[in-house]
Chains A and B, each alone.
Chain A
């Protein structure tokens, strides 16, 4: 939601980033305020997932220009774990598997790390168990998730739910959800979207990185940005995604100058 007197959470200016000498992001500008939901759309290879990883601080990417501010911090000066502890969360497109580590153990470590950072009380395993079970109801998750190894043998939908569960637990200020809809059937998509909608509020913000409009029927964005070849070429409201759905990405290519100009 767009709220009055909201404060700027994220401010990206002229961001350029490369991997192995190849430039992927070619000058990104993006401002996200509290309460807002942004969708970043684009074809495979447009750089949208790279943007998500660069914001979270993946070490494979070299930042070659621009700035990122997160609240009052220079994000580029922070290690990935410091960014996370400051309230930036990335839901992974491909969450990793950790054989032999019970999900609850991992979740509690992550939760307590963030709690400690915020000067809040850490939970012991029993307290955490009560707490996490409550959160799992948001996502209609079976409690046996807690005892299974982290993401090991999880279906695509289970992995995504587990990511959103972490978002619910860690209560980030800014959540970046990378291809949250990929691999989900419509029921799972609704459940996950419903979970996200319950977590979002006027004090936090969300960036949805997605290829398709489908997700945006359930998590409705305030802004839609279209990326192509490492740049945001169009920005609009939620109707831009619908337009894109009807006309396809070719339409963007043909019209990006004029439309972008019109919207700006």
Chain B
């Protein structure tokens, strides 16, 4: 049986290749000069440089967190290069001008840009190692007043919005990795949906780390004004490397009165090999502020990659009647480690939150759900429902649940359910007796297990996620 389990777990990483594009790389190491270099390279205004420097000063006083249930050697922050950009000959106006080598990379990743954009009606803001290369559908969105561009571009074109919102949800000194990101972030996406506008299409960004040894520090800011709505998709893959790469992104969402932001992620960074060598450290701070009345922030994530995932997409429910949602599938295999979950901070009256977390562990991996539900004294009538399910494949892996519940208002109703199940011999025998092989069986069991989360994903993402999960767990049972 365990041999059977093992064989399904061990599948080489499909996206392991390096694209040969000339990169503009900053020297390794972090100090004020590095930050000034990044800021200068990006021709940034003074206020942003001081934002970065303030974050850096804060970061120097902080220590790397150790409370999470993951283990890795100390990161040498001086051995990382903090800036890396493909060298574009000129500013690109359309997809046709994109480096063909880059396009081939997307082909390999199964992301045919033209088709995807055209067929699916998705505007894709492409991030290739930290710098946005091309932005599609911009005009169409601009017609309804939506701004969707790289954050470096927005710094120049809409400085008032960036200044107003950057760092308001995740302050520069929020945590160790957020502080680091605030100091050295290179690029990311900016999205602004003005009052009353429902974004006519899903907005999508594909992230990809490319230069070996370079850190990646994405910064994303999404604002939905009163009565606005947007669905944002983020997908990640990374090529195969033996040295660990740090990925410390920050995502901030702000929803004003009656606004609705749905943020979906499929994360498939390189997870390391079957012996736990290599892989991405994915230390991400994602937080949404449901600032206005009746606003809603919904996080959906499918986390399948990275050697280590440390990530808690959270909602601060400040507006009365605001709603926070967190739907998560986290798959770990081989020696992957994931400590992920959410925080639901209820401040406003009648605020509601839902947490559905599905953890799947195979191989020697460890997966932890860590979630905080806090009902503040002001949150009259608040409600939370949490459901945390774990599934184990094989007998070498672990699943852990760390729920933190803090209720400071007696009118609140907080529910927490948890379960653990195992794909066992008898289940697989049932499938095999119907002629179905182990891989298909596992795929079906897992997809059933994750259904509540996949239902939350936009259609094409759900299909991708389903395939990805089967792929990730191939060889773990059989």
Contacts and interface: CB of A to CB of B under 8 A. Distances in A.
A100 B448 contact: yes
B262 to A, nearest CB: 22
- Size bracket of the A interface: 20 to 34
Interface string B263-288: 00000000000000000000000000
B426 A100 contact: no
Contacts of A89: 433
A84 B435 contact: yes
A95 B452 CA distance: 23
**Residue from B425, B430, B437, B447 having most chain A Cβ neighbours under 10 A:** B430
Contacts, number: 73
A79 interface: yes
B239 to A, nearest CB: 33
Interface stretch (A35-43, A104-112, A209-217, A230-238): A104-112
Contacts of A14: none
Contacts of B432: 57, 79-81, 84
Nearest to B429: A58
B198 to A, nearest CB: 31
Nearest to B426: A96
Contacts of B444: 98, 101, 105-106, 109
B164 interface: no
**Residue from A79, A95, A106 having most chain B Cβ neighbours under 10 A:** A106
Contacts of B450: 100
A159 to B, nearest CB: 12
Given A59-B1, A85-B435, A113-B435, A80 B448 contact: no
B37 interface: no
A60 interface: yes
A106 B429 CA distance: 14
A207 interface: no
Contacts of B448: 98-101, 149-150
A56 interface: yes
Interface string B419-441: 00000011101111111110010
Contacts of B431: 81
Contact of B449 (A80, A100, A106): A100
A90 interface: yes
B436 A95 contact: no
A110 B435 contact: yes
A54 to B, nearest CB: 12
Nearest to A79: B432
B451 interface: yes
25 contacts: A59-B429, A79-B432, A80-B433, A84-B432, A84-B434, A84-B435, A85-B435, A89-B433, A90-B433, A96-B426, A96-B430, A98-B445, A98-B448, A100-B448, A100-B449, A100-B450, A100-B452, A101-B445, A101-B447, A106-B444, A109-B434, A109-B436, A110-B436, A113-B436, A150-B448
The 7 closest A-B pairs by CB, nearest first: A100-B448, A101-B448, A100-B451, A110-B434, A80-B432, A84-B435, A113-B435
Interface of A: 53, 56-60, 79-81, 83-85, 89-90, 92, 95-96, 98-101, 105-106, 109-110, 113-114, 117, 149-150, 166, 170
